[in-house]
Amino acid sequence: MRRNFWWWVALVLGVAILWMALRSNEAVTRTLLPLTSSPVGEKVGTHLLISIWGNICVFVPLGMAVALALSTYSRRWVLLWGTLAGFGLSASVELAQLFIPSRYTDWRDLWLNTLGALLGAVAGVVLAMLFPSIRISATSEPGD
């Protein structure tokens, strides 16, 4: 039951990421403006805030949800699949953006998003270690 919940969370997060990443650039700018107006006034660049930290932070919950959905597998598999989920979704977004005139692709986004998913998967493993009711096995492999 708990695993199904985390798969649903991962699915909802994936759809939300697709919606956010494939909208027109103007809509994205309007949505993010309230988040950047104060830091920009403090001389924190929007590139650093959105392009780097934003790409990482958006994928952390996805990596964590996939890690918790795979909680019966070994840490190695949980980290691998949590990271690959972020990489796969990010690669799909970057490919789709090739065909959207108001969007552009950037290979750095792919790697930053993947890093975010990895950090999320690590957070999922740490949560499982702190809360024994969330079980991530040290040795179980897929198919065992």
> Of 119, 121, 69, 59, which Cα lies nearest the Cα of 93?
59
Number of domains in the chain: 1
Q: Which residue has the tokens 């997060």?
A: 13
- 143 inside domain: yes
User: Which stretches of the chain drop beneath a pLDDT of 70?
Assistant: 1, 25-50, 135-144
- 121 inside domain: yes
Question: Whole domain around residue 116: which residue ranges?
Answer: 1-14+46-144
- 39 inside domain: no
Question: How distant, in Å, are the alpha carbons of 105, 112, 115, 118 from that of 48?
Answer: 17, 12, 15, 20
Please, what sign has the CA dihedral across residues 71, 143, 60, 3?
A: negative
- 98 inside domain: yes
Give pLDDT tens digits for 76-114. Answer: 999 999 999 999 999 999 999 999 888 878 888 999 999
